[in-house]
Amino acid sequence: MEHLNLGRFTCGVDDYFLCVSCNGVVYEPVECSNCEDLLCSGCADNITTCPSCHENLETRVTSRYALQIYSQLTLRCHNFLQGCNQEGLIKDTLKHQGECEYEIFQCSNPLCLESKMRIDKYCDDPLVCSENCKLVVSFDRILKTRDQNLILTTLHTYLKELKEKELAEVTEKIRKSIEILDEKLMEKEEFATEEQELRDEIEMRRKKFHPGKWHAQGKYWVCCLNKSKLALGCKPV
């Protein structure tokens, strides 16, 4: 890291804190002994002449007052465009960046080399993007040991775990299929029950009638005084 991009700061930054070499906000600032302008320590290591005063560059520790102001600047994580919401003092944000979940990494599987954010990693050791990549890298490490017993034991363990995993997956699929069948059978039984109840009601209605008429104003059957117009008949056929 040579400098801090000005666009990442969430506060005003005085021009004094801009590196006279790279023009970014200074990172690990040092001070020119002659003109007292600031440079990134990395920039200072790569030049011999101060870009500001054009004298031979000799650096010294930045003044305590300047460092105090510098330490209060607030900065966003360099992964903010990827979605990281970290924002804080420079030292806190720089510490966060070392473990930021939005940092882009390259899968350590040489056959993959896919780039992903750490938040999408499969595991940290090895740092890979998928279970298959972990197996490739782990087995590659074992092969490099040239220990035949270890290689055979690991291969046997892997095949055993793979068999158990496949068996578990098949068992789970069968269980879900049985659940679906049970639900369909239950629905069929419920439908059959409802159908039979409807048939019974139709049969009851067919075997009964109301000898009296429906009283439109009073809203009841004259014969049985039932107030439901859809009530079963009160007299068998």
Q: What is the pLDDT of residues 128-139, one digit of tens each?
A: 998 889 888 888
Of 51, 16, 46, 18, give the one whose Cα is nearest residue 34.
51
Could you identify the residue written with the tokens 């992964």? 79
In the chain, pLDDT over 70 holds for what percent of residues? 99
Question: What is the predicted pLDDT for the residue at 34?
Answer: 94
* Residue bearing tokens 């087995």: 139
The pLDDT of 108-129, averaged and rounded, is 87
pLDDT of 163 over the 90 cut: no
pLDDT tens-digit profile of 54-79? 999 999 999 999 999 999 999 999 99
Cβ contact 111:49 at 8 Å? no
Confidence label for 204 from pLDDT (cuts 50, 70 and 90): confident
Say whether 146 sits in a helix, a strand or coil: coil
Average pLDDT for the chain: 90
Q: Residue 36 has which token pair?
A: 């007292």
pLDDT, mean of residues 34-63: 94
Residue 2 pLDDT? 59
Q: Is the pTM of this model over 0.85?
A: no
pLDDT at 157: 84
Q: Cite the beta strand spans of the chain per DSSP E.
A: 3-4, 25-26, 29-32, 38-40, 59-61, 74-76, 87-89, 104-106, 115-117, 208-209, 214-215, 220-221, 235-236
Report the C-alpha gap between 187 and 193 in whole angstroms: 10
